[in-house]
Chain A
Amino acid sequence: MADNKRSENSRRRFLKNIGTGLGAISVGGAAAVAGNKMIDSSGEKVRVLTAEGKVLEVDKDALKELKKETNEKRESAREGIPNRKFIMVIDLAKCANARKCIEACQEGHMLPKDHEWIKLYSIQDAEHTAPYWLPRPCFHCDNPLCVSVCPVGATYKRDDGIVLVDSKRCIGCKFCMTGCPYSARSFHWKDPEVEAPEDHVYDPELNTPPVEGTVGKCVFCADKLRNNELPRCVQACPMGALYFGDLVEDAITNGVETLRFSETMEQKHGYRYLEELGTHPSVYYLPPVNRLFDYESGLDGLSDQNRERYKKTGPRDAKR
């Protein structure tokens, strides 16, 4: 989480500053000689430690170095985690529109409050069927139309199944947004007014900070997966409705219980949303049978704005 990363950076910075006295002499022989420069640099800038363990002095050279690292990171993000195929299973019987998944995602990715990479829909499939709550992250389809139509290759599908967006290449044509049948992408229409820390190396796996004029979407928290941690929405769900796992390992977990994916699919008849579109999503749903919470509890405690959303506006929206 943002808290963690900041404290981690500051701790490293703190420790490095202690050892910097020695480091400075070895690293900056030239800098030590030009005594003025040294004082200037350490006076107005902080020595920082990047994720790759390099010591950086934030000045002109560092900016170039930062750019080089950013480009390396953008390259390496195109390769997935080897021998993994990530999947998510969402148990609709447990979803009660708590919306904590949305908040955790927004906080982790520095998103403005009206940007929702995971969205909660109120769906009623037919006139005489019962309404239910549908959390919809990006499905990271195996036949991703959004990737097929991108003219510059800013969005790509990795071997581990995750579809990412490179905010530094996206030209903002929005073709991918019309290509996605699940409306999973959002566009930054105005300046998000979010500042990234000075030493920030842009990482498509975390995809922060948001960039005006580019497209953003759920990234299955690929940055957390590198540390064997569950995505933010999965961790935040108070009902444990979101399960995440690896198809190769045949295991999914919501942080509390771990299940075998194939067994869960068999026992609970898992399915994918709008399967007939041929997109082959990586997100499976468990039907809302034997629900833990009834539909109405999802309407309790909603802000007026959110209550406004779910007023029936079309034939597919659930009745209240």
Chain B
Amino acid sequence: MVRITKKNLVKELTTEIISTSRNWYLLFGVFVLVWAIGIYALIQQIDKGHIVTGMRDNVVWGVYIVNFIFFMGLSYAGALISGVLHLFKSPWRAPVIRFAELITVISLCIGPFFIFFCIGRLDRLPFLFAFPRIQSPITWDVIAIITDLFGCFIFLYLSLIEDFAMLRDTTDISIKPWKKKLYRILALGYVGTKKQHRLLSRAKNVMAAMIIAIAIIVYSVLAWIFGVTLQPGWHSTIFGPYFVIAAVFSGTGLLIIIMQLFRKIYKLEKYITRKHFVNVGVLLLIIAAFYGYFTFSDYLTKWYGSVKMDKILIDKLFEDYYLMFIFANYLGILIPLIIVGIRKFRTIRNIVIAAVIALLGLWFNRYIIVVPTLETPFLPVQDYRMDFIKYSPTWVEWSLTAAGVAIFGIFMMLVSKIAPLVSISEMEVSEEVQDQ
């Protein structure tokens, strides 16, 4: 039997599992509606061809690939918070690790779909597995993403075992019978024996280390999809580490936002306190500093050397993409730095604002990495069609972007019905530590 000694923990952290409010259905409905619009857009695209998007012969990768990189980057929330903090055994991590792991797994599920949208012949997708060429960075990416997804799922599951066992055994709250049965299966017979506990904790340690490693590999491989080409702006030696840092940045930012969202919605103020926000905020600050350093380093060397194509690209960034560039690479870095850096500004609300700006800035950062390079190829674009000269995303691409966010919400909401959003077992451990 797995018993939680603190009864209030169980009662407060399982509200969503026990009952569903009307607001839940409302929000869920909104998400499903947005998702449905995205599906309609996808059908249009499959039916009429990719001509309904804004992509054309020069800018062949647009908003879809930006979203792909972005969502894959969000998965770093799990790798960092769950993985690193688990290995460091930081006590304050307890309330936030579940969110982090969920963000990781869900965004890893969503990300690859954006590649699928970008692929011209979806019916031939199995060819990636039937005729793989291992010299191709896309094959590395397929292998890496599958590995990462599998690993993060295992890690998430391992951390849920104790909670499932507790939910299976508890009599403090009333759980529907079918859910009880589900927990019985999912708990894998965990009853808290010494041996089981040992096995579980060893497995978790191993997987924590693995997902850090694999996360770095996955994101580097993704960076090398761009880095190994010759295109100006992409052929940069720093891309591997740069993308990893940017991913950690985006993961941390999303974590802060989700923490605040769910804290407010599910009334978890007692468990997720200002201290947590400050701690994750400090992480955000450190990462922002690194990210800013890498960005500066990349552009400084390009600008100073002023190789012809680099110069043309930088000119384009400062002319056509001026606002995006300033937002992504100045505001997106400086505002988090200032807010978290200056003690006076460190309120929960400000930190969340900083996280929102950081996240948006990162999306634009991906955009100005992908699109302007494709608009300035080595051979000049000499065309009479405006849509071949300048890329402008269409409603199809925006709908599918919104659908991606909606699916994120849908998955989160569905999971909240089965698994507690704050890890009860971890909370118990941390509160025991605190009591002592």
Q: Is B304 an interface residue (CB 8 A)?
A: no
Chain A minimum-CB-distance residue to B137: A149
B229 CB–A CB distance under 8 Å = yes
Specify which chain A residues have a CB less than 8 angstroms from the CB of B88 in the assembled complex. Answer: none
- Chain B, 360-388, contact with A by CB distance < 8 Å: what is the 0/1 string? 00000000000000101111111111000
Q: Report the nearest B residue to A304, measured CB to CB.
A: B384
Chain A residues, CB < 8 A from B127: 152, 154, 169, 171
Do B133 and A122 touch (CB < 8 A)?
A: no
User: Which of B28-36, B70-78, B115-123 touches A?
Assistant: B115-123
B51 touches A172 (CB 8 A): no
A214: contacting residue among B57, B121, B384, CB under 8 A: B121
Q: Chain A: interface secondary structure?
A: loop
Q: Which of A56-64, A67-75, A87-95, A187-195 contacts B (4 or more CB under 8 A)?
A: A187-195
Contact residues in B for A313 (Cβ distance below 8 Å): 380-382, 389
Instruction: Flag whether A277 is at the interface (Cβ < 8 A).
Output: yes
A123 CA to B137 CA in the complex, in Å? Answer: 33
The B379-436 residues at the A interface (CB cut-off 8 A) are 379-385, 389
Complex CA–CA separation, A274 to B51 (angstroms): 31
Which bucket holds chain B's interface residue count? 35 or more
Report if B22 contacts A (CB, 8 A).
Answer: no
- Please, which residues of chain B bring their CB within 8 A of the CB of A189? 49-51, 55-57
Minimal beta-carbon separation of B315 from chain A (angstroms) = 8
Residue from the list A175, A186, A212, A308 in contact with B49, Cβ < 8 A: A212
> What number of A-B contacts does a CB cutoff of 8 Å give?
142
> Which of A119, A151, A170, A181 makes the CB contact (< 8 A) with B121?
A170
> CB distance B229 to A172 under 8 Å?
no
From A121, A190, A310, contact of B51 by CB (8 A): A190
In the complex, how many angstroms separate the beta carbon of B368 from the nearest chain A beta carbon? 16
Q: How far is the CB of A111 from chain B (nearest CB, A)?
A: 13
Q: B228 in the interface, Cβ–Cβ < 8 Å?
A: yes
Are B133 and A309 within 8 A (Cβ)?
A: no
Residues of chain A having any CB pair with chain B under 8 Å: 114, 119, 121-123, 136, 145, 148-154, 169-175, 177-179, 181-183, 186-191, 212-215, 274, 277, 279, 305-306, 308-310, 313-317
Sample of 19 further A-B pairs with CB below 8 A, known A145-B230, A170-B124: A119-B379, A121-B380, A149-B136, A151-B133, A151-B138, A171-B124, A174-B120, A175-B138, A177-B57, A178-B234, A183-B58, A183-B381, A187-B60, A188-B49, A190-B48, A213-B121, A215-B120, A310-B382, A315-B312
Q: Which 5 A-B pairs have the closest CB atoms?
A: A172-B120, A213-B120, A151-B138, A308-B384, A190-B49
Interface residues of B (CB under 8 A from A): 48-51, 55-58, 60-61, 115, 118-121, 124-125, 127-128, 130-133, 135-139, 142, 225, 228-231, 234, 312, 374, 376-385, 389
